[in-house]
Structure 1
Amino acid sequence: MKKFLCLLLFVQSSFLFSQQLEKVLPLNFKNTNDLFQVVEEDKKQVLLFFRDKNRVLTVKFNDKFEVLDSISSTRPPKNYDDIIGYSITNNKYYSYWSTPNNKEITTQCFDFDTKKVSLKTFNLDFEKEKPVKTITVNSIFYLITVVKSTSILNFYVFDDGNLTKKTVDLSTNRFLSYDTKTCTLWSLLNSDTGLDGSLSIQNISNDTPPSLTFSANKRKVYTNGNKLFFTFDNNKNFTQTVTINLNDFSAISKGYNQPYLLSVNYVEDESNSFYVNGKLIQMKLNENRLALSVKDMEGNELKTYEILKDKEVTFKNSDIIQENGSINKTRILDKSNQLLRKIYFEYPSMSCYYFNDIVYLTIGSVSLEKNGNGAMYGAMFGLAGVLIATAITSNYSIANLNSYKNRKVVYINCLFDKEFNHVDGEVNKLAFDKLRALSENKDDLISQSVFKFNSKLYFGGYDKQEKSYKFFSFTD
């Protein structure tokens, strides 16, 4: 009987997962170890870039995942070990490969009109500057560096196979360190906050709901049209921001006070922020209280909420949930003081997502990642000023998907309308939550991808036994 029930559960589970199977693509690609994708909503197509130690294969799909075209080529020399980004010009698709020290960038261009592949190398002089971010905005690739001991940013702009350099000088702007002393932007970026290493900025994308792990970082950058919006929460009393217009590389800096919190003797407050749809959400907390504030870009406070240790949270729409390294390993906490204590003693975080005019806000914290021996590790193992492949959008989504693994995560889910008035009701399971649950049962799939396309969220992976690439779709 037990065996029958187990078999029945397995069949039901397999049936549920199989209903999400969107496409199976036969693909015999040996030693596939990495990929990234480019989504073009305006053209209703997706490109997948597969790579192994010898070659790169690009496959173009339409919105029904029918193969439109493909190009295969040898990969750049082995000293170019990572793809750090991409750009697009008409029917030309550029991938950017970097050497470990980031001083050489090779662009590999796949021209789908001529079916030719070309390489072009750029030598960069980084003697007095360090890279802090790579990002693609509106099909143009940017490599951003900061000049040592200054408040000067350099933007290396890669567009249509050409490189131009733009400089943003923020020397006249005032930046504050964690102890409220005037400092340079370099000092702000070079500080180690424990979770995020020095000379790193976490980009926040709308492709998938950002994880609490990503949004726990004190230095974040958001894309807003053709602008980059940087937030810095190194100082617990202010959120410092810099907006850079990529059309003319003009910059505006502004500071936003964190919400007021009654101080407790010998207790240091914690804080963080999250930007979404033209609003800045800030939180400040200690063991006894959490203050939440929603502001517009002029600094006007629109809404405030609070959590007290001895009172029920009035604006939560879920239990207090604790994940222990997996979405399948959860426990429910009973009291607000447990929530406050766990947020305060780990890395406080918020994540926000809009769907059908409803704001999904998650408030919580994450621990450092735990290795197999039970040891915790974080930014101390990062390499300052060295770009990694998670800078590209596709790997961003995979890293976002896997970011809760081997961490303890505590959170509540909350619902608000567009004006941030609390909305009653249960939190519907989002597509990303369904995707997380499926992905933990698909460890056999390698070269995974996650992307939003045509109003659906897709999870893909290569099945080595069946020699095929599988796509699963999810909807909110």
Structure 2
Amino acid sequence: MIKNFLSLIILSFSIATFSQETVLSFNNDLKTSSSDIKDVIPVVNTETNEIAFFVADAKNVYGYKVDANFKVIAKITSEEKSRKYKVLIGSSASKNDSYRVFLTDKNQNNFAFVNFSFKDGATSLKEFSIGEDEEFIQTVNSKNQFYLISGSKLENHLYLYSFDEYGTPIKNDIDISALRFIDYKGKNTNILSFLITGNDLKKFEENTPNSIELTSEETKMFVRENSIFFTLDHHKMFTQVLEIDLDTYKADSFQFNKPALGEKAKRTNSYLNGKNIFTIAVTKDQFSVEILDFETGNLIKEYSASKDEEITFKNTAIIQEGGMYDAYRELGKTNRFLKRISKGNSGISARKVNNQYHVIIGGYIVQKSSGGMMMPFGGIPLGTIGSATVFFNPTQIAFNSFSNNKTTRIESLFDENFNHVEGEIKENAFDKMIDFKSNNKGSTVFKYKDFELVI
């Protein structure tokens, strides 16, 4: 939270216990100008658990380093602000007490990073570029390292840029020539046509709450341990997966069967969580959810319901939320649920909390108004200035979509063997943040260990 442009207060919302506490409060005493603060950029050092906060106004960037006990231990001021680079795409932390913030321009053609050295008390900006025939796809932050993903549709080449200790980009060619992918008709196709679409590809963090608006995307990216997974749900009967190993830069592909119902469905989808993949198929008459082992593809559990049946594995009412006329409604019958989710974009999300799986099943229809298509996520553009970009801060994007839900959905609880369990769906960390953040427009949500933090 930015309070009177001077103070930073950091609240911790525990994912496991749903508790809330203030863990840090300090004055932005480096700031002397009268210009308003535009954004706060958090960068977490995953090895030391230190956090660097970069507070930006129209003229300068002010850096504060906080240790694992939430004590301010270093400060720095930077005048290295280029108006050319306005979109945050990632960050990295090094062992020599420096942090880098990576940026691109609004057209995603030019790139740069600002290096903040708390050790030397100095900052610097360095520009870099990708190939002329390449298009920017996404970024990865893993083990304090930053990676940039690009590709060429024309050549069917995928590239992963890593960066050495001086920030020099190293171009790694990911060999995908032997990997086969199919389009929605089952014909061989170029995977770059799925990864480069003109729409920013969304990435997801493990066990962070995600709305159906996000998870209903046909192409998604996950980072687990030291691998990148792209999931493709364009085909009704298969989820296709591209895996890239960040240690070897080797690529592999495999696929998972979707429910047999998918052959009749307008849309099917999937979602990765831990060692499992959750798949869904929906028609106007019934829906089916299957949970598969991610290593073997074997079916673990299946749940389904038809329009004339009660959904016995739900822990909530059938909820319609965020429509054009009613903000919240409960629908009594399964046929009304199926009618709504089969017309739009269907999706499923899963996260593990306190040894139980919280699964959301549903769909949404993009609302229209006289002024054209409504913007998702409460009017927040996804590739904009600040930390809320689909490249830099997926937790913030998840919160924005979650707090502006426009879905028809049910929510369910399952034990570790995926047996349905009775019980009330508890508030998640985002639920507790909504009221706080709505009163503090400059705040930023980010992930820190097993907590969601808001500043």
- Cα deviation 1:250-291 (Å, max 9, x = unaligned): 111001121101866xxx531000001121111111111111
Report what 2:444 is aligned to. 449
Secondary structure at 1:244's aligned position in 2?
strand
Report what 2:345 is aligned to. 347
Instruction: Give the TM-score, by structure 2 length.
Output: 0.85
- Cα deviation 1:102-152 (Å, max 9, x = unaligned): 333222111111211122221333x22211112211111111111123432
CA change 1:262–1:206 in 2 (3 A) is closer
Contact 1:53 1:75 in 2 (8 A): no
1:319 pairs with 2:320: no
Distance 1:92 1:101 in 2: 28
Q: CA deviation at 1:217?
A: 0.9
Report what 2:105 is aligned to. 99
Letter in structure 2 aligned against 1:154? Y
- Cα deviation 1:445-469 (Å, max 9, x = unaligned): 2332112336433222xxxxxxxxx
The gaps in structure 2 that reach 5 residues or longer are 1-18
Distance 1:173 1:24 in 2: 51
Report what 2:5 is aligned to. none
Secondary structure at 2:319's aligned position in 1?
strand
Distance 2:248 2:383 in 1: 26
Q: CA deviation at 1:47?
A: 1.8
Report what 1:58 is aligned to. 63
Report what 1:227 is aligned to. 227
CA change 1:393–1:451 in 2 (3 A) is farther
Q: Choose which of 275, 291, 296 in structure 2 pairs with 1:294.
A: 291
Contact 2:232 2:241 in 1 (8 A): yes
Letter in structure 1 aligned against 2:241? T
Contact 2:35 2:58 in 1 (8 A): no
CA change 1:431–1:55 in 2 (3 A) is same
Secondary structure at 1:424's aligned position in 2?
coil
Q: Choose which of 156, 161, 167 in structure 2 pairs with 1:156.
A: 161
1:25 pairs with 2:26: yes
Report what 2:428 is aligned to. 430
Report what 1:112 is aligned to. 118
CA change 1:361–1:111 in 2 (3 A) is same
Identity %: 29
1:284 pairs with 2:290: no
Letter in structure 2 aligned against 1:257? N
Contact 1:131 1:385 in 2 (8 A): no
Distance 1:172 1:29 in 2: 58
1:271 pairs with 2:268: yes
- Cα deviation 1:418-471 (Å, max 9, x = unaligned): 2211112222222222223433xxx342332112336433222xxxxxxxxxxx
Q: CA deviation at 1:156?
A: 1.3
Distance 1:85 1:150 in 2: 27
Contact 1:56 1:74 in 2 (8 A): yes
Q: CA deviation at 1:30?
A: 3.0
The two structures, once aligned, show a CA RMSD in angstroms of 3.1
Q: CA deviation at 1:388?
A: 9.5
Contact 2:237 2:262 in 1 (8 A): no
Figure out how many residues of one structure are paired with residues of the other and give that number. 428
Contact 1:134 1:144 in 2 (8 A): yes
Contact 1:320 1:412 in 2 (8 A): yes
Distance 2:98 2:244 in 1: 27
Secondary structure at 2:431's aligned position in 1?
helix
CA change 1:214–1:434 in 2 (3 A) is same
Report what 1:7 is aligned to. none
Report what 1:210 is aligned to. 210
Secondary structure at 2:453's aligned position in 1?
strand
Distance 2:91 2:20 in 1: 33
Report what 1:12 is aligned to. none
Letter in structure 1 aligned against 2:203? N
1:310 pairs with 2:311: no
Report what 1:366 is aligned to. 364
Q: Choose which of 179, 182, 191 in structure 1 pairs with 2:185.
A: 179
- Cα deviation 1:369-403 (Å, max 9, x = unaligned): 65684744579x99999999645676322221111
Report what 1:331 is aligned to. 329
Letter in structure 1 aligned against 2:339? R
Moved more, 328-337 or 383-392: 383-392
Q: Choose which of 114, 118, 121 in structure 1 pairs with 2:127.
A: 121
CA change 1:385–1:332 in 2 (3 A) is closer
